Structure 1
Amino acid sequence: MDAWPYPFWIAHRGAGRLAPENTLAAFRLGAEHGWRMFECDVKLSADGVPFLLHDTALDRTTSGHGTAGEQGWSALARLDAGGWHSRRYAGEPLPTLENLARWCLANGHQLDIEIKPTPGLEERTGRVVAELAAHLWQGATTPPLLTSFRPESLWGALQAAPQLPRGLLLDTLWDGCFGYAAQLRCAAIVCNHALWDAALVEQVHGMGMRVLSYTVNDEWAAERLISLGTDGIVTDRIDLFSPGA
């Protein structure tokens, strides 16, 4: 396998549940806890701006309503993406991928970009996100890792920026998933942590891909994955685990 340039520990959506997910405030808090690599979710606005949001709808984590991808960036930029979490973060805006990229690059942090397309925009989202990431990280020592549950999004990313590493996210082991990962020239498989066992880790490593897990919030689960020889853990518990471990 190629050398793996990323830390073992990855902070989920910036700071797990300690700050409003996918906001710059969350990534700053994660960095204050000593974390060096972060996971985020990226989709497209109606006018094609890659920005951070997990859900298809705005309602859970912003002051907005409806499908996020159907609104232009000028409207999305005015939303409150922090007040749902706590009064401390009220008024925190949605960041663009470019906002986060420049912060990561300025501070030497690494990023796992989960491509989270609005339904129907899978390939386009992968292509646009990969094109922008390749531009923003041009010349950087360590590029971002592009991951997605949607093979179509990874296909778009492969076509746009084949030099960027990709990872297939899996909540279940569906028929042909590892074959798809190989066709997409993935560098990693990122599974629901409960799916991994010794035989599966050996199989994926034997295919030349790294083994990562999400979302691991218990010590016993982390210890099991470490003993299996996996290559990375995504966690909400930035206050429990030591990212230097």
Structure 2
Amino acid sequence: MKPDTTSSLKGWPYPLWIAHRGAGKLAPENTLAAFRLGASHGYRMFECDAKLSSDGVVFLLHDDTLERTSSGQGVAGKRPWSDLSQVDAGSWHSRQYAGEPLPTLAHIARFCQANAAWLNIEIKPTVGLERETGQRVAEAAQQLWAHQPAQWAPLLTSFQPEALIGAREAAPDLRRGLLLDSLWAGWQSVASDQGCVALVCHHTLWTPALREETRQLGLRAMAYTVNEIPDVKRLIELQLDGIITDRVERFAPER
């Protein structure tokens, strides 16, 4: 994969609208079923959460534990993929999705590439495995998109600076973004030190001043998780570059 610039606002290939965890809440999050549903609503970019199994397989799951979104129990990162691949990740949502499996990042990469879609991979480490997870997710992403044009490469994001450090070590040419749920002191230095191209904030954090600061820092601006029309209007007025939403049925990307 050819290197992309990571120091300016140039070379940003991603669309404005991004489907959160595949299709938000309409299908079981972080499953291929959710990605398919999001695509059926016209979405060309998706966000997902990626972590490591105990034997190093990169797979999709938001929580540290399995209980909320699957039939499994315990800390997912302490289980081998042979176990994780057997859990039901759909019945918790609805009967329609009973038996839906947890996907690996490889499954999602194949879907995105077959459907000409982009991907935002949030690195979601098991506690204590921040740097290793960042490294392994970045390595997997680089390998999975190795034969794709550079503009289709995924965006790697994380709340954890250590995960971004690991990602930069493993695959420095992949685009990275810093996730924030508050404007903690020093975020600017972390974004700069890790060569981030984007700042991804909870939508309530975005103000005209923060938007201008991101421009001065050479960062693209993205917001999560934006589900209400007044919030969308405000963020579009601020000229954000990415809006992550659960409401794929409410907001049509082509408009």
Indicate the TM-score class for this superposition, using the shorter chain for normalisation: over 0.9
1:206 aligns with 2:216: yes
**Unmatched 5+ stretches in structure 1:** none
Alignment partner for residue 207 of structure 2, among 197, 211, 215? 197
Alignment partner for residue 15 of structure 2, among 7, 11, 15? 7
Residue number in structure 2 paired with 1:44: 52
- Per-residue CA deviation, residues 196-237 of structure 1 (Å, 9 max, x unaligned), is 111110111111110000000000000000001111100000
- Per-residue CA deviation, residues 25-53 of structure 1 (Å, 9 max, x unaligned), is 00001101111000000000000000000
1:53 aligns with 2:61: yes
Alignment of 1:27-106 (within 5 A): 27-106=35-114
1:143 aligns with 2:153: yes
Tell me the TM-score normalized by structure 2: 0.95
Deviation at 1:139, TM superposition (A): 3.0
Between 135-144 and 89-98, the greater mean CA deviation after superposition? 135-144
Partner Cα distance (1:86, 1:170) in 2: 31
Residue number in structure 1 paired with 2:198: 188
Alignment of 1:92-171 (within 5 A): 92-141=100-149, 142-171=152-181
Of structures 1 and 2, the one scoring higher in RCO (CA 8 A, sep 6+) is 2
The list of structure 1 runs, each at least 4 consecutive aligned residues, that deviate by more than 3 angstroms after superposition, is none
Aligned-residue sequence identity (percent) comes to 60
Deviation at 1:3, TM superposition (A): 2.6
Alignment partner for residue 235 of structure 1, among 238, 245, 251? 245
Residue number in structure 1 paired with 2:232: 222
Amino acid at match of 1:162: P
Partner Cα distance (1:3, 1:201) in 2: 19
* SS of aligned partner of 1:158: helix
* SS of aligned partner of 1:15: coil
Partner Cα distance (2:183, 2:209) in 1: 14
**Unmatched 5+ stretches in structure 2:** 1-8
* SS of aligned partner of 1:157: helix
* SS of aligned partner of 1:216: coil
- Per-residue CA deviation, residues 72-95 of structure 1 (Å, 9 max, x unaligned), is 000000000000000000000000
* SS of aligned partner of 1:103: helix
Amino acid at match of 1:222: V
* SS of aligned partner of 1:211: strand
